[in-house]
Amino acid sequence: MAESLFGIHGTALELRSQRMGLLTSNIANAATPGFKARDIDFAAALKARTSGASEDQAITSATRYRVPVMPSLDGNTVEMATEQTAFAENAVGYSATLNFLRGRVETITRAIKGE
Amino acid sequence: MAQNTPLNLFQVTGRAMSAQLVRMNTAASNLANAGTVTTTEAEAYRPLRAVFAEQLDQANGLSTVRVAAVQRSDATPIRQHDPGHPLADANGDVWTAPVDENAEMVEMLESSRQYQNVVEAMQTAKQLMLETMRMK
């Protein structure tokens, strides 16, 4: 039921939320020696998820290590500019998906009420 | 630090903030002790440094920060010849704490920037969560 009601947006919101957690982990570990920043390839994860993979599988298969522009001496690959940009992009994507969902729910509500 | 429930986003950011606070406190302690003088080399203040470590939650892939150790650096105290000093030893020398004020200021600045970043990320995440909850 939820699948057909929300379509791709429900899945997208799940993945956006997971990605937000991962990017927050990167930002939190900006000063941890040897920490390797990771990110989810959103398009790949969504593709895997829509072709039948479970959420865990889709995320695991689409998680990539960040390639640093300039590697630092302590082995940390978090670059604030990159992380902040990715975080902002993801937040906007999340908001957009949420608006699509809201639209869906409003449409259904109107149909039920017969307005 | 054992835990039974998976980490959530607020725990990730909260712990990162605590870790940065420990780091800021060590920098403050070092600055406060800059220029302290002792009679012997062994007694001299040695700068403190917080060592961070990643704390990965296997259940959901989130990772936060913990302070693995607060270590004293092994920098050698600076020997100064000052016979008139009340703490001077038999040779008329005193030992000054080897604190690099500039390095400590940079450390503090970097720490506070990273703290701000974490707060910013948490606020955005919180805002999005609230919006999701209030969805009609």
List, as ranges, residues 45-74 from A with C-beta within 8 Å of B: 59, 63
Nearest to A28 among B13, B23, B128 (CB): B13
ipTM of the prediction: 0.85
Q: DSSP strand E in B6-121: where?
A: 37-38, 48-56, 63-72, 78-81, 93-96
Per-residue pLDDT of A10-67, as tens digits, reads 999 999 999 999 999 999 999 999 999 999 999 999 999 999 889 899 999 999 999 9
Q: DSSP strand E in chain B: where?
A: 37-38, 48-56, 63-72, 78-81, 93-96
Burial degree of B88 (CB within 10 A; 0-12, 13-18, 19+): middle
Q: How many CB pairs under 8 A join A and B?
A: 87
Choose between A2 and A86: higher pLDDT.
A86
Whether B9 contacts chain A with CB within 8 A: yes
Residue in chain B lying closest to A95 (CA): B128
Q: A42 is written with which tokens?
A: 């959103």
Nearest to B12 among A28, A32, A95 (CB): A28
Contacts of residue B62 in chain A, CB cutoff 8 Å? Answer: 21-22, 24-25
CA atoms of B26 and B37, how far apart (whole Å): 19
pLDDT at residue B65 above 70? yes
Per-residue pLDDT of B86-118, as tens digits, reads 999 889 999 999 999 999 999 999 999 999 999
Q: A29 is written with which tokens?
A: 């570990």
Min Cα–Cα distance to chain A from B35, Å: 28
Choose between A86 and A7: higher pLDDT.
A86
**Single-letter amino acid, residue B27:** A
Supply the mean pLDDT for chain B.
Answer: 92
E strand or H helix at A25: helix A8-28
Min Cα–Cα distance to chain B from A56, Å: 9
Using DSSP, state whether A68 is helix, strand or coil.
coil
Mark yes or no for CB contact B121/A13 under 8 Å. Answer: no
Chosen from B26, B67, B117, B134 to mutate, greatest number of chain A CBs within 10 A: B117
Residue in chain B lying closest to A55 (CA): B60
Taking alpha carbons only, the member of B29, B7, B16, B4 closest to residue B122 is B16
Per-residue pLDDT of A101-110, as tens digits, reads 999 999 999 9
Angle, vertex CA A59, rays to CA A57 and CA A63, nearest 5: 125
Whether B27 contacts chain A with CB within 8 A: no
